[in-house]
Amino acid sequence: MAAEKEKIGLFGGSFDPIHTGHLILAQAAANVAGLSRVFFIPTAVPPNKRGVRLTGIETRTRMVKLAIADNPLFELSRIEAVRGLSYTYRTVRSFVDQGYGKREIHLLIGSDSLEEIAGWRKPLEIFSHATILVMMRQGHGRISELPAEAALICMTAGSNSISSTEIRALAGAGKSIRYLVHPAVEKFITAHSLYGARA
């Protein structure tokens, strides 16, 4: 695997639910950085959202699987789903252990997360082993405090304002979420009455 030197993207999140904005950003990131694969990594217990009530990890993972099934570039990773509380540095390290290096591993984050990354668990380990692919969002993106080890690629391609919070609210109000999520995810949400959605 390492001999091929393929470039990969690691795209983690709660994905509650995964939406078309996530898919657009992942495809744009692949185009910008020349990624061969993008791993979607649903997080069981995000460290920054402890205490926040999330839909069960198996349900969120199922929605991710449905959303990415028709794109051969996208792949599901359950590495954080089985860990419970998980930290990004451990996920990056797992891919390093598979033979990937800093030029190959691209960690996809939003520019709001870029402002917080210095406070994450072992940020220097992340910067040492991964290139940070930042999806720029208006009003975010301070980079002056990052260490010399940090390698950044900043992108504006695929920028959108779709949010999981908005989708949950619409579903709960009985309103359409068409085009905000993949059609298979829309059917799944309706069939399982997630977020208060009604058939």
**Tens digit of each residue's pLDDT (9 = 90 or more) over 121-132:** 999 999 999 999
pLDDT given for residue 119 in this prediction: 85
Please report the domains of the chain, with CATH numbers, ordered by start residue.
2-159 (3.40.50.620)
Q: Do residues 16 and 164 lie in contact, with contact meaning Cβ atoms separated by under 8 Å?
A: yes
H/E stretch holding 184 reads: helix 183-191
Q: Do residues 78 and 40 lie in contact, with contact meaning Cβ atoms separated by under 8 Å?
A: no
What pTM was estimated for this model as a whole? 0.92
Average pLDDT of the residues in 111-130: 90
Q: Pick 43 or 117 by higher pLDDT.
A: 43
Provide the pLDDT confidence category of residue 45 given band limits of 50, 70 and 90.
confident
180 CB-near residues (< 8 Å, 6+ apart): 19, 20, 21, 162, 166, 167, 170
145 CB-near residues (< 8 Å, 6+ apart): 118
d(CA 59, CA 78): 12
Provide the pLDDT confidence category of residue 138 given band limits of 50, 70 and 90.
low
Direct distance between the N- and C-terminal alpha carbons of the chain, in angstroms, rounded to an integer: 45
State which amino acid sits at residue 94.
Answer: S
